Amino acid sequence: MAQFLSMTPSEVASGVRELDNLANVLRLPDQERFDILNLSASAYRLWQSSLHTVIGSAAPELVRRLSYALPLLRRMAANASSGLVGYNGSPSHPMAK
């Protein structure tokens, strides 16, 4: 089983804000943002707004989910921004044989 570094509450709050910024780039709905971290809407907003002192320390599950999600969302956002050049909004279709 992989070991995850512990994160301070401030680092978790910063990670949630980064996740939210990346989710904005990717246009993820709010519910999907909450589900990625397995947080309720109110807990997500507390972490996002740095009111994490109300919550206290971060659960190991939240740290683990952040450490998985952030690198993936960073790559997705980088790919999305490079793929938007010339994008016309229509879905891609497999090439015909």
pLDDT tens per residue, the chain (97 residues)? 455 578 888 899 999 999 999 999 999 999 999 999 999 999 999 998 877 666 678 889 999 999 999 999 999 999 987 765 444 444 444 444 4
The whole-angstrom separation of Cα 54 and Cα 56 is 6
DSSP state of 86: T
pLDDT of 93: 43
Residue 65 to residue 43: CA distance in whole angstroms: 15
Backbone angles phi, psi at 92, to 5 degrees: -80, 150
